[in-house]
Amino acid sequence: MVSPAAIRFAAGIIGNVTALFLFLSPLPTFIGICKKKTVGQYSSVPYLATFVNCMLWVVYGLPFIHPNSTLVVTVNGAGFFIELVYLTLFVVYSDKKNKIRIILIAIVEIIIVGIMTVLVLNLTHTTKRRSSIVGMIAIVCNIMMYASPLSVMKLVITTKSVEYMPFSLSIASFANGIAWTIYALFPLDPYIAAPNGLGTIFALVQLVLYATYYKSTKEQIAARKAKGAVGLTEVVYGDSAKVGQVTHTGRAQIP
């Protein structure tokens, strides 16, 4: 019989792999930015949100906050540095006003998380209490990030097209949500289970939408090609700007 600890470890490893895939999904966007030497109209907001989200979950997984959460620290530690690279590229290739805004927001996020950590460590004296405070704050941050996948799902329904919701990312989000939900059940960790359970549902809805509108998407692409038009995936999704932003939040359920 497989022990709960073994199940938890295996789920955490799978969660690390799928989360890393989601963290790296915006790479085509940033390769394009580096080639063009400009961020254009791309928004830094999703990356700033993921940056602070990763910091919160790293704090949550620290031994003196929530013991035995090494896999939570590893995945979010990796995510933190990946997002830091993305934000650095935004600063390098943005105009002066945007550079200052991104730097200030990132500094404020670091200061807020730092102050929160110091207060939690000094005002509470049990890991149960500390993890509940940090966990609730992290959940709120996750819930705020759910707006992005919801907007994409609305767009899919409106256009009856899944061009801007790639199947591979939806599958990865679904697998990621399941992995971390299972991880959170052995033993029960409501602060990880809640956001990832909800994230799994969102990813499942995305897969249902994909199955529903796959045929109509192919028909739309065929119709455009017949008219000699340039498809949406060739002009927008080729840069994967929007999708790169969505995956972080559809990731976005990464503890």
Digit-coded pLDDT (tens) for 40-58: 888 898 899 999 999 999 9
Residue 148 has pLDDT above 90, yes or no: no
Confidence class of residue 236 from pLDDT cuts 50, 70 and 90?
very low
Residue 11 has pLDDT above 80, yes or no: yes
Residue 21 has pLDDT above 90, yes or no: yes
Tell me what percent of the residues of the chain surpass a pLDDT of 70: 88
Supply 155's token pair.
């767009």
Beta bridge partners of 253: 251
Residue 187 lies in a domain: yes
Domains in the chain: how many in total? 1
Let me know: does 48 contact 217? Beta carbons within 8 Å.
no
Digit-coded pLDDT (tens) for 191-211: 999 999 998 999 999 999 999
pLDDT score recorded for residue 227: 80
Residue 251 has pLDDT above 60, yes or no: no
Range of the domain at 162: 4-248
pLDDT mean over 84-105:
95
pLDDT mean over 152-171:
86
Residue 115 lies in a domain: yes
Residue 90 lies in a domain: yes
CA-CA distance, 252 to 146, in Å (whole number)? 8
Residue 253 lies in a domain: no
pTM: 0.83
User: To the nearest 10°, the Cα dihedral for 159, 163, 165, 166?
Assistant: 160
Digit-coded pLDDT (tens) for 97-125: 999 999 999 999 999 999 999 999 999 99
